[in-house]
Structure formats: C-alpha cells, structure tokens
Amino acid sequence: MIILTVDKAKDWMKEIQKRMFDHKDQLTELDQAIGDGDHGINMARGFHEVVAKVNHTSYDSAADVLKSAAMTLMAKVGGASGPLYGTAFLKMSLAMQGKEVDQKVFKQAINDAVEGLQARGKADFGEKTMYDVWKQVANFLQEEDVQDWHGILEVCQATIEDTREMAATKGRASYLKERSKGHVDPGSMSSFYIFEALAEVIDL
Ligand code: ADP
Ligand code: MG
Ligand code: MG
C-alpha cells in the first residue's frame, strides 16, 4: 500500500509548519535555556518558506517534494537545525526516488535520514540532540510490526524527556556542559512535531 503521495508529502509540510508556528514560543524558550534562543524562529520561518515553495510548485513524486523541502531548509535556516533537517529530508527523498512509498520504503527512508543526521552532525545517541529522537523512531520501526502511530509518538515523547537529564556534548548546548542538565533539548521537541505532523497525514 502506498502511504506517501505528492499530496500527502505537501500536507506533511503544512502540518509541520502549523505546529512550528503554534509552538514557536515553546521552542524558543527551550533554546533560551540551553542555546541562543532562536530555534522557534528558525523552525517557524524555515517551514513557512518550505510551504511557500511546495505550494507553488508541481511535483512528479513525494521524493521531489521532500527534496524541495530539504533544499529550502538548507538555504533558509541559519542555525544548525537547517542543514540537519535538510539532510534528513534529502536522505528520505533519495530513499524514495523512483519508488512507490509503501511501509518498507518509508522505514528505509527513516533509516537513511538517521544515518544522514549522524554523518552531518556527528552526534551519537545520548548526546542530547534531535538525533536521539530520530534514532529511537528508527529503532522502533525496525523492531515492531507497526500498525499505527501511537507507539512511535510515545517513543518520541519518552526520548524528549530522556534528554532532560543529559549533559549536551554536541551543538550550542554543549558549551554549558553539566549546566545543560534539567532542560529538554529543543531539537528533540521540534523533531516530535515533525513526526506528529506525519502521523496526522499518513496511515501506516
Ligand atoms: P543553533 O544551535 O545553531 O542556534 P537551532 O537552535 O535551530 O540552531 O537548533 C538547535 C538544535 O539542533 C539542538 O537542540 C539540537 O537538537 C540540534 N543540534 C545541534 N547540533 C547538533 C549536532 N551536531 N547533531 C545533531 N543535532 C544537533
Ligand atoms: Mg539556537
Ligand atoms: Mg542560532
């Protein structure tokens, strides 16, 4: 069964944009605590640009929508998160290229996104970054016969909470070392909104 079409890929971007807009202040506050306080702005503006782009372009495949999103994020988001999310969407796009996106292709796409994030950001699991959430989602998809989004979103939320007691060793938060403890990672939170938006749009 095809789970991601051109229209659904566009809707995914719109649902992400809505969430980044609605939670802009929350993401900014999280980044104020352990970073430079721009994550909400980066995400709201970045996905606003993505939606403006995909709304005015016609695409032959879901892969092409994601590629367009990736390029826009890389070009328009100044912070670390722009190139990182850009890489994640680009790797997903490459995994989907020329294929009908069924659950198997989709799982591979998530795996490739996770590898891309690691290659780009050099973060390992447990370093208090968005990588933690993506890695746990990939693990969950690998291990479980997934029927719906419930378990995936629970894994995301548990992982966000796990980042709270970690000391950051990558990104700006790593400047604070032990003092980064006690705050959840902003990029983990925005990654949750990306998966929550996906759950809104596609049936597994
Ligand atoms: P910046 O830190 O440049 O201001 P943002 O505030 O938009 O960029 O994004 C910060 C988020 O990016 C962090 O919360 C973290 O999840 C993620 N991040 C930062 N550096 C890395 C890295 N090297 N690998 C993975 N994720 C990272
Ligand atoms: Mg920041
Ligand atoms: Mg910044």
Provide ipTM, 2 decimals: 0.99
Which residue, among 11, 199, 13, has the nearest Cα to 106 in the 3D structure? Answer: 199
Residue 143 pLDDT > 90: no
The tally of domains found in the chain comes to 1
> How many CB atoms neighbour CB 198 within 10 A?
24
Residue 123 pLDDT class (50, 70, 90 cuts) = very high
Distance, in Å, from the CA atom of 40 to the CA atom of 187, rounded to the nearest integer, reads 10
Q: Report the mean per-residue pLDDT for the chain.
A: 97
Q: Is residue 20 part of a domain?
A: yes
Residue 118 pLDDT > 90: yes
Contact 156, 133 (CB under 8 A): yes
- DSSP class of 125: T
Q: Is residue 172 part of a domain?
A: yes
Backbone angles phi, psi at 101, to 5 degrees: -85, 90
Distance, in Å, from the CA atom of 9 to the CA atom of 48, rounded to the nearest integer, reads 15
Task: For residue 83, give the CATH number of its domain.
Answer: 1.25.40.340
- The alpha carbon of 81 and the centre of ligand 1 are apart by a number of angstroms equal to 5
DSSP element (H, E) containing 4: none
Residue 145 pLDDT class (50, 70, 90 cuts) = confident
With a 6 A CB cut-off, is 31 part of the ligand 1 pocket?
yes
Percentage of the chain beyond pLDDT 90 is 96
Q: Is residue 112 part of a domain?
A: yes
Mutate to test the pocket of ligand 1, among 29, 136, 172 (most ligand atoms within 8 A of CB): 172
Q: What is the pLDDT of residue 144?
A: 79
Q: Is residue 162 part of a domain?
A: yes
Q: What is the pLDDT of residue 147?
A: 87
Please compute the mean of the pLDDT values over residues 33-49 and round it to a whole number. 98
Backbone angles phi, psi at 4, to 5 degrees: -125, 115
Please compute the mean of the pLDDT values over residues 86-115 and round it to a whole number. 97
* Secondary structure class of 93 (helix, strand, coil): helix
Q: Whose CA is nearest to atom 24 of ligand 1?
A: 121
Residue 105 pLDDT > 90: yes
Mind giving me the DSSP string for 43-92? HHHHHHHHHHHHHT---SSHHHHHHHHHHHHHHH--STHHHHHHHHHHHH
Q: Is residue 168 part of a domain?
A: yes
Q: Whose CA is nearest to atom 19 of ligand 1?
A: 171
Q: Whose CA is nearest to atom 6 of ligand 1?
A: 39
Q: Tell me, yes or no, if the pTM score tops 0.80.
A: yes
Which residue, among 45, 44, 42, 51, has the nearest Cα to 79 in the 3D structure? Answer: 42
Which residue, among 186, 176, 154, 198, has the nearest Cα to 25 in the 3D structure? Answer: 186
With a 6 A CB cut-off, is 121 part of the ligand 1 pocket?
yes
Which residue, among 85, 102, 3, has the nearest Cα to 50 in the 3D structure? Answer: 85
Percentage of the chain beyond pLDDT 70 is 100
Residue showing tokens 């890489």: 87
Looking from the CA of residue 187, the nearest atom of ligand 1 is: 16
Cα–chain center distance at 197: 10
Residue 169 pLDDT > 90: yes
Q: What is the pLDDT of residue 20?
A: 98
Question: Structural domain of residue 76, as residue ranges?
Answer: 6-201
Q: Is residue 1 part of a domain?
A: no
Contact 202, 195 (CB under 8 A): no
With a 6 A CB cut-off, is 131 part of the ligand 1 pocket?
yes
- The alpha carbon of 36 and the centre of ligand 2 are apart by a number of angstroms equal to 5
